[in-house]
Structure 1
């Protein structure tokens, strides 16, 4: 299939004149939006093609999020980070092929009718970097991009870990780090947390908070990009040992 994108004019008009569109976000289908966009020539096929894919809409978000990270990243593996940071692409997909998904994943926010919550469901409202990890569709791709592990047979181990609980909030936490663009650093932190889990520790959000905070602090006095993944793992474990008790995670 060819991916759909929404013109910047359409995005700007909806953001500035939300009241005119508000009631139609509660529509069961996207017919009203599609008709309007086509009349104004606001919706177009992009040059990006991929295999057809269907997103999981299980009752439990932690189940569907995990499945959908893999589905989206496998289907759009060749998408460049520059395109994946384009609000127009994700907005077009959400108003187009994946209307049912955004209605499922952001059901409570959309039904509540709050302007900010609805706009956050479809658009980038918090700056490009942060919004890439907030938008309910784009964050699936960016999770795969950041945490897909080519060095392991189970490429999505880190995704399994982050999706066990509080996926959305943990992802926002990670996206705020200075080292977000470096996969080795991110995976080094996840290696540490996974090893502590394997050793029998109960993992909570505080593990992600403290490990990432510490690596960010290290980045203020050291050149993080020069660090190996294994070194980051050891540094994160040093901090977690100080806070939650010593666990030997090996080399």
Structure 2
């Protein structure tokens, strides 16, 4: 299959003239959008090819998010970060190819009728960097890109951990500021949290909050890109020991 993308004119028109589109975001099918986009030649088939894939729609988001990170990233492993940062691609896929998925994953937000919630479901409304990890589709790919571990036989062990609970908010924390440009930073932090879990500690969102705050703090006085993954793990553990008690890893 070839991925579909929208022209910038389509995205701009929806954002500027939202009232004209609003009711159709609750349609069972995407027929109205497809007809309109074809009329104005706003829909395009890209040269990006991938094998057909079907995203999971389990009633438990913790289960489906974990499965879908792997499904989407494996299907689009050859996608470059530059293309994966393009709003036109994700918006095109969601509206034209994965309508059922976005209706499932963002049902509450779409049914709310809130302009902000509806637009956030399909488009990048918080800046490119942050939106990559907030959009319900692009964040799946970016989670795979950031946490895929070539050094471990279970390449998705860090994804297993972060998807246990509050995945959507935790991945935004892990991806923020200094993390996006360096996989070792993210994997080093996840190594620390995973080891603490193996030693019996209950892992909550506060672990990600504190780890993120600390790494961003030391980033002001340390060249983070020069640190090894194991060093990031050790530094993060020292900080968490100060808050939650000592665990030697």
Q: TM-score range by the shorter chain?
A: over 0.9
Three-state SS of the structure 2 residue aligned to 1:102 is: helix
Task: Report the Cα distance in structure 1 between the residues aligned to 2:215 and 2:172, rounded to whole angstroms.
Answer: 16
Any unmatched runs of 5+ in structure 1? Answer: none
Deviates more, 1:229-238 or 1:204-213: 204-213
TM-score (norm 1): 0.98
Write the mapping of 1:83-94 to structure 2, written as runs, cut at 5 A: 83-94=83-94
Aligned to 2:177: 177
Contact between 1:123 and 1:135, CA under 8 Å: does it hold in 2? yes
Aligned ranges 1:130-169 → 2 under 5 Å: 130-169=130-169
Aligned residue in 2 for 1:246: 246
Using the TM superposition, give the Cα deviation of residue 179 of structure 1 relative to its aligned residue in structure 2, in angstroms: 2.8
> Residue 164 of structure 1: SS of its match in structure 2?
coil
CA deviation after TM superposition for structure 1 residue 177, in Å: 2.6
Cα offsets for 1:124-159 (capped at 9, x unmatched): 000000000000000000000000000000000000
Work out the CA distance in 2 between the residues paired with 1:218 and 1:174.
15
1:178 deviation in Å? Answer: 1.8
Is the 1:179–1:224 contact (alpha carbons within 8 Å) kept by the matching residues of 2? no
Query: C-alpha distance in 2, partners of 1:176/1:144?
Result: 15
1:60 aligns with 2:64: no
Q: Residue 51 of structure 1 aligns with which residue?
A: 51
Q: Distance in 1 between matches of 2:235 and 2:180?
A: 17
Q: 1:93-112, aligned counterparts within 5 Å?
A: 93-112=93-112
Structure 2 residue matching 1:96: 3-state secondary structure: helix
Q: Are the equivalent residues in 1 in contact too, given 2:85–2:129 (CA < 8 A)?
A: yes
Q: Return the alpha-carbon distance in structure 2 between the equivalents of residues 179 and 224 of structure 1.
A: 9
Partner of 2:226 in structure 1? 226
> What is the CA-CA distance between 1:180 and the residue it aligns to?
2.1
Matched residues in 1 for 2:96 and 2:74: separation? 20
Cross-structure match for 1:41:
41
Structure 1 runs, 4 residues or longer, greater than 6 Å off: none
